[in-house]
């Protein structure tokens, strides 16, 4: 019974809405052509702006959309252990570094970091490469990286780094704070001073 009582009133409002829309269409039709063109341009402009904004968001790289330390797999130096970066503990800054064992710039940066390691002891370093383990072992042994407790080295066998960070050059460095939030990325190189100051900001 309640539904039947409400139905005529709903139809009245529907007819009223249709009438108002019809009047609005007639009113707009009688306006000057220039104003209609202006209205069309305004609508088109809003649509284009919305599309451009959406395109800008879509063009962001994964690390820009999600500035938290990512979880990915690293094949460790024993060639059997797989470590997931999800388990990197909070409480200390973290540096992820993509490198190639035969890259001169990567070797130079590694030498520089090791020389300044006394001031970087608080940082957890994870050095990863997509290159084969034979090349990686030569690099690992050359710089005696096993002697540094805060440095882990392994293979990015899923090529995660390239896809997530869009890295074009090595070395590529991503620096995260104690809460695993991104601080900054460096493509090409960085310095001990930069890393120290970045990870010791109050």
| Across 40-54, average pLDDT | 48
Q: What is the pLDDT of residue 99?
A: 97
Annotated domain spans of the chain: 2-59, 65-199
Mean pLDDT, the chain, rounded, equals 83
Q: Which CATH superfamily is domain 65-199 in?
A: Glutaredoxin (3.40.30.10)
Query: What is the model's pLDDT at position 201?
Result: 84
- State the pTM of this model: 0.72
The first and second tokens of residue 148, run together, are 């540094």
Do residues 149 and 123 touch, judged by C-beta distance below 8 A?
Answer: no
What is the spatial distance between Cα 32 and Cα 60, in angstroms, rounded to a whole number?
43
DSSP string, 111-142: HHHHHTGGG-TTSEEEEEESS-HHHHHHHHHH
Q: Tell me: pLDDT of 177 over 80.
A: yes
């Amino acid at each position: 019974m309640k539904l039947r009582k409400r139905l005529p009133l709903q139809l009245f409002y529907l007819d009223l809405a249709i009438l108002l829309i019809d009047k609005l269409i007639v009113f707009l039709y009688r306006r000057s052509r220039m104003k209609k063109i202006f209205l069309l341009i305004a609508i088109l402009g809003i649509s284009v702006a919305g599309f451009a904004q959406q395109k800008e968001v879509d063009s962001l790289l994964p690390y820009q959309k999600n500035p938290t330390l990512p979880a990915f797999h690293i094949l460790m130096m024993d060639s059997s252990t797989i470590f997931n970066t999800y388990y990197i503990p909070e409480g200390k800054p973290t540096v992820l570094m993509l490198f190639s064992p035969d890259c001169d710039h990567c070797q130079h940066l590694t030498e520089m970091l090791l020389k300044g390691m006394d001031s970087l002891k608080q940082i957890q370093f994870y050095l990863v490469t997509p290159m084969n383990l034979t090349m990686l072992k030569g690099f690992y042994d050359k710089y005696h990286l096993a002697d540094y407790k805060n440095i882990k080295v392994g293979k990015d066998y899923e090529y995660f780094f390239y896809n997530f960070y869009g890295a074009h050059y090595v070395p590529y460095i991503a620096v995260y704070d104690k809460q695993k939030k991104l601080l900054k990325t460096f493509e090409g190189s960085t310095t001990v001073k930069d890393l120290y100051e970045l990870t010791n900001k109050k």
